[in-house]
Amino acid sequence: MPNIGIPLRYNRLPDGRCILFLGEKIRRCIQKAGGFVVPITQVQDLDYMDTHYNEYPELTDKEKEDIEKYLDMVDGVIFPGGNKITPFDQYLVKRCIERDIPTLGICLGMQLMCYYDREFKPTRIEEANHYQEDDNLLTHKVQLKKDTYLYKILEKDEIMVNSFHNYKVDVENEYIVNALSEDGFIEGVELRDKKFNMGIQWHPEISYDFDEDSRKIIDYFINICSNK
C-alpha cells in the first residue's frame, strides 16, 4: 500500500477562523484505489489564509528540512484543488520534480504546476461549462494530445470530464500541454522525463465511482507509486 502525501488546503470557517483541510472525495478515492493518505501540513508559523502572496517570508532551512521529512515518508504526492496557492506549495512541487516523486495535480494542483516557478497569475473565465453545480455529471469534452503520458493511460483522442474552475492558465516552464478543452483552454500538463508528473484541470476523484477514465488515471497513479 503506497503512502500518498496530500498537502492540506486553506479555507475559513463561518465564524472567521482559518483552517487547513483535506477534502473527503480525495481521501476516499485514494483509499478505494489502494493508497494510504498522508496529510502534509504547512510548515511556516503564519496564517496561510490571511497572508497575501507577496507577504510570505522565504522558507528557512529548518522549514525546508521539515518538507523533506514529509517527502521521505511518501511514495507519491497529489496536489488537490482549492482556492489559493502559496510559496510553500510551489516549493513542494519543485522538490517533487527534483526528487522524481510521482505527482498528480488536480484542478488548482494543475495550475500550481504551471506556476510553481513564478508568481501565480491566472486569468478569470466566464464560460459556464467550466463550472458545474452537480458532482454527478461530466460537463464538456477534452481533446488529448498523442505521444503524451495521458494519452498512453487513456488511449483515447477525446474524453468527457467534469469541471469546477473559474480560471485558466498558460504554461511558461518545462511542462508540456497534454490536453485542451473544446474552447482551447489548457486541461492537462505533464513532464515526460519523470516517473509520473502530471496535472489535470478536472476532478477524477469526484467521478471515480462512475467514470472509467477517472478510475484509469487514479489507479495508474497509485500503481506507479506502488512500484516506486
- Cell numbers 522565504: residue: 58
Band (202; pLDDT cuts 50, 70, 90) = very high
Looking at the predicted structure, is the pLDDT value of residue 212 above 80? yes
| pLDDT single digits (tens) 141-186 | 999 999 999 999 999 999 999 887 677 789 989 999 999 998 889 9
Taking the CA atoms of residue 50, residue 166, residue 206 and residue 221 in that order, the dihedral angle to the nearest 10 degrees is -80
32-41, 53-62, 70-79, 90-99, range with the lowest pLDDT: 53-62
Residue 221 is predicted with a pLDDT of 98
| Core vs surface per residue 108-142: b (16+ CB within 10 A) or e | bbbbbbbbbeeebebeeeeeeebebeeeeebbbeb
Q: Could you tell me the pTM of the whole model?
A: 0.94
Q: Is 180 helix (H, G, I), strand (E, B) or coil?
A: strand
Q: Do residues 206 and 25 make contact, with C-beta atoms less than 8 angstroms apart?
A: yes
**First CA to last CA across the chain, in angstroms?**
11
**Closest listed residue to residue 166, CA positions, set 206, 214, 119, 201:** 201
CA distances, 159 to each of 156, 171, 223 (Å): 7, 22, 22
Give the pLDDT of residue 37.
98
- Please state, in angstroms and rounded to a whole number, the distance separating the CA atoms of residues 143 and 99: 30
- Answer for the pair 1, 35: CB distance below 8 angstroms, yes or no: yes
In sequence order, what are the beta bridge partners of 188? Answer: 179, 200
The reported pLDDT for the residue numbered 20 is: 93
Cβ-proximal residues to 62 (8 Å cutoff; 6+ apart), any chain: none
Domains (range + CATH), the chain: 3-226 (3.40.50.880)
pLDDT greater than 70 at residue 132: no
pLDDT at 130: 63
Q: How confident is the model at residue 38 (pLDDT cuts 50, 70, 90)?
A: very high
pLDDT higher than 70, residue 127: no
Residue 60 has pLDDT above 70, yes or no: yes
Q: Which of 178, 162, 53 is nearest to 113 (CA)?
A: 178
Q: What is the pLDDT of residue 129?
A: 62
